[in-house]
Amino acid sequence: MAAITLPADPVDLVTPPGLLSAAPLIEAKNVELFYGSSRALKGIDITIKEKLVTAFIGPSGCGKSTFLRCFNRMNDLIDNVRITGRCLIGGEDIYAKDVDVIELRKRVGMVFQRSNPFPKSIYDNIAYGLRLHGTKDKSEIDGVVESSLRGAALWDEVKDRLHSSALGLSGGQQQRLCIARAIAIRPEIILMDEPASALDPLATVKIEELILELKKEFTIVIVTHNMQQATRISDYTAFFYIGELIEYDLTTKIFTNPAKKQTEDYVTGRFG
């Protein structure tokens, strides 16, 4: 029998080269976050690559959502929060004094666990952000509303009732509307905090498929409690536990051959 030449790293057999070569976009350096005197994040270092999906997993209270909110400075809205270390997006420190937080949140969009459409029409939900950022031309707004709804795989379902209330949509549709609203202002990054956890399985599939489409244009960071969701949609996975980043690697590696026993115990459902 012919001698078998083992490849140097068998994992590479299923790792599309793009995953390894993607450029870094978000960098956290020794990030610590305190709620009063309690330390919620402990010296997190991570580099997140552009146009990939990165999942944050970990048991409740591990700091994954808190950490996600550092990237668009949502934690600024909470009293008594203090952050140390550095958070860079495209090499710029987003906590620098001269940073315009409104501009930052334009670059870094966010989708939450509970869909939160404005109590306005479907059309206005998307147009609102555009108008806020100074777009006045109606035909331009019309174009963006359509392309955003198409981008969020919602257009065909709502094109005949754009001026009806967004609150009349189903939960899954509302969540896709929120995604459409987020992409309308062309952010670089979309943060998603458990975007499908309040949805039924079919609506979840739609959101997951949508995320896989969106990563062609956007960098996505998603917090999820659903292990299978992380394996289905993410390229990289970060496992957090009690404020620490325990392991961060290719999703395939985290779910088939994690380096740390704690990670394996969590992803196989032994704790958490």
> In the complex, which residues of this chain contact other proteins (CB under 8 A)?
1-2, 4-7, 10-11, 13-14, 205, 208-209, 212, 227-228, 231-232, 252, 255-256
Q: How far is the CB of 266 from other proteins (least distance, A)?
A: 14
Which residue lies nearer to other proteins by CB, 13 or 102? Answer: 13
Closest to other proteins by CB, 141 or 233: 233
- 140 alpha-carbon distance from chain centroid: 27
Rounded Cα distance, 71 and 24, in Å: 14
Please identify, using beta-carbon distances, which residue of 41 and 210 lies nearer to other proteins. Answer: 210
User: In this complex, which beta carbon is closest to other proteins, that of residue 110 or of residue 211?
Assistant: 211
Task: Determine the straight-line distance between the first and last CA of the chain, rounded to whole angstroms.
Answer: 48
Least distance (Å) from other proteins to the CB of residue 130?
30
Q: What are phi and psi of 243, to 5 degrees?
A: 80, 0
Q: Which is nearer to other proteins, 64 or 206 (CB)?
A: 206
Shortest Cβ 1–other proteins spacing (Å): 5
Min dist CB 28 to other proteins, Å, is 26
Residue 120 CB, shortest distance to other proteins, in Å, is: 32
Residue 251 Cβ vs other proteins, minimum distance, rounded to whole Å: 8
Q: Structure tokens of 42?
A: 């402990």
CA gap 264, 244 in Å, rounded: 16
**Cβ-based nearer residue to other proteins, 14 or 242:** 14
Nearest residue (CB) to other proteins, 147 versus 231: 231
Non-local (6+) Cβ contacts of 199 within 8 A are: 171, 172, 175, 207
Of 9, 18, 77, 81, nearest in space to 52 by CA:
18
Minimum distance, C-beta of residue 257 to other proteins, in the bound complex (Å): 9
How far apart CA 198 and CA 203 sit, in angstroms, is 10
| Tokens 């390229």, located at residue | 235
Where would I find the H helices in 6-163? Answer: 17-21, 64-68, 101-107, 122-132, 138-151, 155-158
Whether 113 and 213 have beta carbons less than 8 Å apart is answered as no
DSSP 8-state class, residue 159? G
